[in-house]
Structure 1
Amino acid sequence: MYTLQIEHGIKDFDLWKAAFDRDPADRAGSGVTAHRISRPVDDPRYVVVELDFGQPGQAEAFLAKLHATVWNSPDVAPALMGAPKTRILESAL
């Protein structure tokens, strides 16, 4: 399993979650098999998103799609603050 981990600051969680739920990048159609959203207990204006994929190429393609169609558009990502920090992880277990 491969996980695209995304961390970024947000203006407002409810606004961010509504945009996430609209799914402008088509997670299921892009190979996402599961996702998790976490928030630091000491920072309500930050999120960590983990998106699981079966193949590393799917994670890489989805990350490229996020850069091209989501993160560069304030209309699509209205709650995003700053540039997201990303990495693709491979499950070690």
Structure 2
Amino acid sequence: MYVLRVEHAVPEYEAWKRAFDGDPLGRGAVGVRAYRVMRPVGDPGRVMIDLDFDERESAERMLARLRELWTRLTVATTPPDAELTEVMETGRY
């Protein structure tokens, strides 16, 4: 499994969340299996989003789409950061 982690500051979470929920890139059609939206407890003006993929190529396509989207609009006060990771192991307790 591959995880695309996106992190950025947001000036207003509710407005950002409406844009995220609008799903302008069609996450499901690109291959996103699941997502998680997180905010640091000590910094609610920042979000972290994990997008899960089965295939690396799908994750890379989404990353390219995100970077293109970020050139067209401002969703944050600082440029977003994104990194593609490969899940090596998971466990539950």
Distance 2:32 2:79 in 1: 22
User: Which residues in structure 2 correspond to 1:3-82 (within 5 Å)?
Assistant: 3-68=3-68, 70-74=69-73, 77=74, 79-82=75-78
Taking structure 1 as the reference length, the TM-score comes to 0.90
- What is the letter of the counterpart of residue 89 of structure 1? T
- Where 2:32 maps in the other structure, the secondary structure is coil
Aligned-pair identity in percent equals 38
Deviates more, 1:13-22 or 1:79-88: 79-88
How many residues in Structure 1 have an aligned counterpart in Structure 2?
A: 89
Q: Distance in 1 between matches of 2:42 and 2:35?
A: 22
Separation (CA, whole Å) in 2 of partners of 1:24 and 1:38 = 20
1:9 alignment partner AA: A
- RMSD across aligned positions (CA): 1.0
- Which structure 1 segments of 5+ residues have no match? none
Which consecutive residues of structure 2, in runs of 5 or more, have no partner in the other structure?
Answer: none
Give the greater-gyration-radius structure (CA). 2
Q: Which has the higher strand share?
A: 1
- For 1:86 and 1:66, the matched residues in 2 are separated by 9
By how many angstroms is 1:73 displaced? 2.5
Offset at 1:90? 0.6
State the secondary structure of the residue aligned to 1:49. Answer: strand
Aligned to 1:90: 86
Cα distance in 2, alignment partners of residues 62 and 33 from structure 1: 12
Residue aligned with 2:50, SS: strand
